[in-house]
């Protein structure tokens, strides 16, 4: 098991856990880019959105429900937040285990575009 996020789920690498259920584990990002920056990951090792299968629908649904729950728990639901899932090289994905960034706690910049 070489995946750092699998090791975080297993408790082999420490993390600041925010939420956990049967499908999902969520923890604070080690290098936050917003006042609230949580990573929501599936417990099943799925590398990226490109690797999702029909049978993963329940997992994906639960990732979104976890995002909603965490946003309310952390008090950012009403003002709003951003969910970001990077995929592959052009998407800027660094860790090959699907993760949803939950970003909030401030008005966030829109800086998506091609690298110059
Ligand atoms: P990506 O660029 O793949 O969308 O995002 C990967 C994220 O994982 C980055 O925001 C990075 O800071 C975070 N990250 C990488 N390694 C660790 C770690 O060991 N612990 C935590 N909490 N976050 C990590």
Indicate which CATH number applies to the domain containing 20: 3.30.428.10
Owning domain of residue 44: 4-104
Pocket of ligand 1 (CB under 6 A): 4, 13, 15, 27-31, 39, 86, 92-95
- 89-107 pLDDT, tens digit per residue, is 999 999 999 999 999 999 9
Asked, for residue 49, whether it belongs to a domain, the answer is: yes
Answering whether pTM is above 0.85, one says: yes
Asked, for residue 112, whether it belongs to a domain, the answer is: no
d(CA 43, CA 26): 10
Asked, for residue 82, whether it belongs to a domain, the answer is: yes
Residue 105's nearest CA partner among 67, 74, 73 is 74
Q: Which atom of ligand 1 is nearest to the CA of 94?
A: 3
Angle at 7 between CA 3 and CA 8, to 5 degrees: 115
- 64-92 pLDDT, tens digit per residue, is 999 999 999 999 999 999 999 999 999 99
Catalytic (active site) residue 99 = yes
Q: Which atom of ligand 1 is nearest to the CA of 33?
A: 10
User: Residue 79: which H helix or E strand, with range?
Assistant: none
d(CA 109, CA 116): 18
Q: How many CB atoms lie within 10 A of CB 10?
A: 12
Question: What pLDDT does residue 110 have?
Answer: 85
Question: What pLDDT does residue 37 have?
Answer: 98
Catalytic residue (choose from 37, 97, 99, 101): 99
Asked, for residue 116, whether it belongs to a domain, the answer is: no
Instruction: Report helix, strand or coil for 80.
Output: coil
Q: How many domains does the chain have?
A: 1
d(CA 46, CA 62): 14
Question: What pLDDT does residue 112 have?
Answer: 77
Q: How far is CA 79 from CA 52, 74, 105, 109, in A?
A: 31, 11, 8, 15
């Amino acid at each position: 098991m070489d995946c750092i996020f699998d090791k975080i789920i297993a408790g082999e690498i420490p993390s600041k856990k925010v939420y956990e259920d049967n499908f999902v584990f969520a923890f604070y990002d080690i290098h936050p880019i917003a006042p609230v920056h949580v990573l929501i990951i599936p417990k099943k090792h799925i590398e990226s959105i490109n690797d999702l299968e029909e049978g993963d629908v329940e997992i994906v649904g639960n990732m979104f429900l976890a995002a909603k729950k965490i946003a309310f728990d952390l008090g950012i639901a009403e003002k709003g937040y951003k969910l970001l899932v990077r995929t592959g090289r052009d998407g800027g994905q660094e860790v090959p285990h699907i993760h949803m960034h939950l970003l909030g706690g401030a008005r966030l910049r829109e800086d998506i575009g091609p690298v110059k």
